[in-house]
A and B are shown apart, each in its own frame.
Chain A
Amino acid sequence: MSAAAEYFENIKETVRTVFEGMAVTASHFVRKPYTVQYPDRMPRRVQDTLPFRYRGILEVDLEICTGCLACERACPIDCIVIACQKDAATKILTLAQFDIDIAKCMYCGLCSEVCPTGSIHHTSEFEGADFSLESLIRRFVTEPIAAYKPKKGPETDPHIVPLLERGMRHVDDYAVPGGDKPAEAKTA
């Protein structure tokens, strides 16, 4: 278009788009801010609002750990160190060391995926900052403990039942390779 028409077109476009932009920002003045005032002005702790699958800091329930070392093998960054020994005489598997270096951990979830009982699982904790690197090595074995032997039927020991239920919730949440999912997942 001619130079004069373009001149006025530029002015008109500038005024119109600035008007539109200011209308949008003006509409934001009266909208509720999206900010979450963490950590003190919140109705609930953030950790309680996180979804079940949230991959926070790892935790191990030693009572249901079978000592299969699948998590140690699966970890791509070698942050899990497990020492377990099978006593030749009594044939009992004892766990002497179960260290997870959460400074190295990349929260990928490969270890909890392969755990058969869900003893190693992610919690919803994410505040792990501390003042020394040594404190970031979580040592879960305080005294040598016998590994768990999964029973053929349902578990009967009342101490272990809630731990096993929680662990199996994590295990069941993962996709079953090649199999059919239970009924409620099909409708999701």
Chain B
Amino acid sequence: MQQLIENIIASGILGKNPPYQIVAAVVILIACAVVILVIALPFAGIVTWAERRVWARIQSRIGPNRVGPQGFLQWLADGIKLICKEDIVPADADPHLFKFAPFLVMLAWILPWAVMPFSSALILADLNVGILYMTGVTAITVVGILMAGWSSNDKWSLIGGIRSAAQIVSYEIPAGLSIFPVVMMTGTLSMEAIIRAQGWGPQHWFLFANPFCFIAASILFISALAEGNRTPFDLPEAESELVAGFATEYSGMRYSLFFMAEWGNLYIIGAIMTTLFLGGWQVPHVSSSPVVMNILQLIVFNVKVLFLVFVSMWIRGTLPRIRIDQLMTVCWKYLVPISFVNLIGTAVWVALWPEGNAAAGYLMAALGAAILVLFVRRVIYYLKRARMELYFRPNI
């Protein structure tokens, strides 16, 4: 971003001596607007379509396939419908808090895009506390959800809001603790630096660097799912119990703001996981042109993030919901102690091998491949047993 601003000033299209601060501010604002309007918001919409299609195939159904090619414009249709709905504010609800809450939740989702490392040159702000900023800012959701639950003047919403607050606050701990092993191994909190410390091959990813990081990655994924209110942790919006939990009294676009934030959060979860554990945008050095490299890096980053988004949807289709007290048990009795063990284990590992251990990387990558092979064999076992007709194409 710095580079970009200096390039623009140096190219002279803005005159001889433009005021640096104002140029910087305008360029950053335009870049932010581009990222949010062109990437973040459409993603939140498109991922609803993708989730419905993925979910439907898991359930032997088809999913939306009428509105637009393969149902691709379904999210636009839903968005337009939601905008046209009546904006109901319950009579006894606190109107200011009620109206403000969805925006807080959206804010908590939009702010992390500022440090999203799309490729080596495309990052809005390479803060040197990048990952800390991300963790901190995603916690604003708690305030928004509590506000929504309380101000709705509805006991069911209140229960949903309180459940969610407890859940998100609790799961911040294992999430934070699972980020520390990576921070210890690289010695920095900056997103770019963490990615640069990894390589493009699986053996160089932090996921496979040592067994403690492997477990830390799983714990981070689970905690991030819990923070995003995704199944199996979607108690606050448990459809079959509380209709829509904290968002019951909301209608129209306010309602959709909550859920755009939730679906968009999938990208943030994927991005954090990719940056920390899956090697980010690292690609082999195939070209010396920075444009080509950047495009490749962008593609690789997005492929990894979208794969993790797909895994989130897949888990949503598979697992049932955990109850609130079991959720707390899992967090405090299982995830937190294991995260501490990971932390200490990684500390010992870093003390023993400060430069990293390549052999361990290869070994763990082989282990990961073995688990994958076992999984595929199990899938084939089920396919053979069930004797149903196969169909490999994603479109119908």
A and B touch in the complex (CB under 8 A): yes
- Residues of chain A having any CB pair with chain B under 8 Å: 7, 10-11, 18-35, 37
Per the 8 Å Cβ criterion, residues 349-396 of B in contact with A are: 375, 378-383, 386, 388-392, 396
Question: B389 to chain A: which residues have CB within 8 Å?
Answer: 31-32
Judge if B318 is at the interface, Cβ distance under 8 Å: yes
A26 partner, pick from B59, B62, B319, B379, beta carbons under 8 A: B379
Complex alpha-carbon distance, A32 and B62, angstroms? 9
Write the chain B residue with the least CB distance to A20: B378
Q: Is the CB of B57 within 8 A of A29?
A: yes
Complex alpha-carbon distance, A35 and B387, angstroms? 17
Complex alpha-carbon distance, A24 and B60, angstroms? 12
Complex alpha-carbon distance, A132 and B386, angstroms? 47
Q: Is the CB of A22 within 8 A of B315?
A: yes
- Residues of chain B having any CB pair with chain A under 8 Å: 56-62, 314-315, 317-319, 334, 375, 378-383, 386, 388-392, 396
Complex alpha-carbon distance, A31 and B62, angstroms? 11
Complex alpha-carbon distance, A24 and B378, angstroms? 8
Complex alpha-carbon distance, A29 and B310, angstroms? 12
Complex alpha-carbon distance, A20 and B380, angstroms? 12
Given A30-B392, A32-B389, A32-B390, the answer on whether A25 and B334 have CB atoms closer than 8 Å is no
Write the chain B residue with the least CB distance to A34: B60
Q: For residue A160, give the distance in angstroms from its CB to the closest CB of chain B.
A: 46
Q: Is the CB of A33 within 8 A of B60?
A: yes
Q: Is the CB of B56 within 8 A of A27?
A: no
Question: A30 to chain B: which residues have CB within 8 Å?
Answer: 383, 390-392
B57 partner, pick from A10, A20, A28, A37, beta carbons under 8 A: A28
Could you count the A-B residue pairs with CB atoms below 8 Å apart for me: how many are there? 68
B318 partner, pick from A11, A22, A31, A33, beta carbons under 8 A: A22
B58 partner, pick from A11, A19, A28, beta carbons under 8 A: A28
Complex alpha-carbon distance, A35 and B383, angstroms? 19
Q: Is the CB of B390 within 8 A of A31?
A: yes
Complex alpha-carbon distance, A72 and B318, angstroms? 53
Q: Is the CB of A27 within 8 A of B318?
A: no
Q: For residue A122, give the distance in angstroms from its CB to the closest CB of chain B.
A: 30
Q: Is the CB of A28 within 8 A of B334?
A: no
Q: Is the CB of B391 within 8 A of A26?
A: no
Complex alpha-carbon distance, A27 and B386, angstroms? 10
Q: Is the CB of B314 within 8 A of A28?
A: no
A23 partner, pick from B57, B59, B60, B382, beta carbons under 8 A: B382
Known: A18-B319, A23-B375. 11 other contacts (CB 8 A): A7-B334, A18-B318, A21-B319, A22-B314, A23-B379, A23-B381, A27-B383, A27-B386, A32-B390, A33-B56, A33-B57
Question: B59 to chain A: which residues have CB within 8 Å?
Answer: 28
Question: A19 to chain B: which residues have CB within 8 Å?
Answer: 375, 378
